[in-house]
Amino acid sequence: MPLTVRPIAAHDLDEIRAELDTHWHSNEIWSLGRCHQADALPGFIAEIDGAFAGLVTINLDPGAWQCEVITLSSRSPQHGVGGALLAAAEEFARAHDCGRIYLTTTNDNTHAIRFYQRRGWQFAALHKGIVDRVRKVIPEIPLLGFDGIQVRDEIEFERWLA
C-alpha cells in the first residue's frame, strides 16, 4: 500500500472540508483562543493508493519564526499516515526557517497525547480552562470528548528545530 504525502492543492477543498467536518464539525478551528479558518491554510494530504487518507493544516505565526499545526487527522489509522503528515509539517517548518513548531490538543485526547510524545514532541504548556472560556463564546463546542472526558483544557506540545 504506497503511502504518499503532497502539499494541499486547490482541487482538494471539498475533501478537506469533509475531513475537518468529520473530526471538528467545522472549518473554523479554535486553538489558544484564536480561530483559524482551517480550509484556507497550507498543509499536506496523505494518500494511500491515490485515495485521500489524511490531512495536516499549518499556520505560520506572524514573523514566521514559528508555526502551529492546526489540524492533524488520519482516515486510515495505524498505517503510518499520522506520522508521515506530522513529519511533513516539521519539514514545512524547517523549509520556512521556523525555529519552533507547536500544536495543542485537548485534555480528553489521550491517544494524541501519547502519539505526539512517541514522536519526540514535548509538553510546552497547560492552558487550563481555555476551552471552557472559548465555549462561552462558541457554545457549539462539545462538552464531552473522547472516553466521555469533559473537554476543558488545551495541552501545548512543541518541537524545537534549530
Which span (33-41, 78-86, 123-131, 134-142) binds ligand COA, by CB under 6 A? 78-86
The answer to whether the beta carbons of residues 71 and 103 sit under 8 Å apart is no
Q: Judged by CB under 6 A, does residue 80 bind ligand COA? A: yes
Q: Judged by CB under 6 A, does residue 23 bind ligand COA? A: yes
Build a one-symbol-per-residue string for 111-140: x at contacts with ligand COA by CB under 6 A, - elsewhere.
Answer: xx--x--x----------------------
Cα–Cα distance measured from residue 69 to residue 112, given in angstroms and rounded to the nearest whole number: 13
Which span (92-100, 105-113, 128-136, 153-161) binds ligand COA, by CB under 6 A? 105-113
Q: Judged by CB under 6 A, does residue 57 bind ligand COA? A: no
Minimum CB distance to ligand COA, residue 126 (Å): 16
**Three state DSSP letters for the chain:** CCEEEEECCHHHHHHHHHHHHHHHCCCEEEECCEEEEHHHCCEEEEEECCEEEEEEEEEECCCCCEEEEEEEEECCCCCCHHHHHHHHHHHHHHHCCCCEEEEEEECCCHHHHHHHHHCCCEEEEEECCHHHHHHHHCCCCCCECHHHCECCCEEEEEEECC
Closest to ligand COA by CB, 115 vs 121, is 115
Burial group, residue 79, by CB count within 10 angstroms (0-12, 13-18, 19+): middle
Which span (35-43, 57-65, 81-89, 148-156) binds ligand COA, by CB under 6 A? 81-89
Minimum CB distance to ligand COA, residue 79 (Å): 5
Closest to ligand COA by CB, 76 vs 132, is 76
Closest to ligand COA by CB, 75 vs 98, is 75
Question: Which residues in this chain contact ligand COA in the complex, by CB under 6 A?
Answer: 23, 72-74, 77-83, 105, 109, 111-112, 115, 118
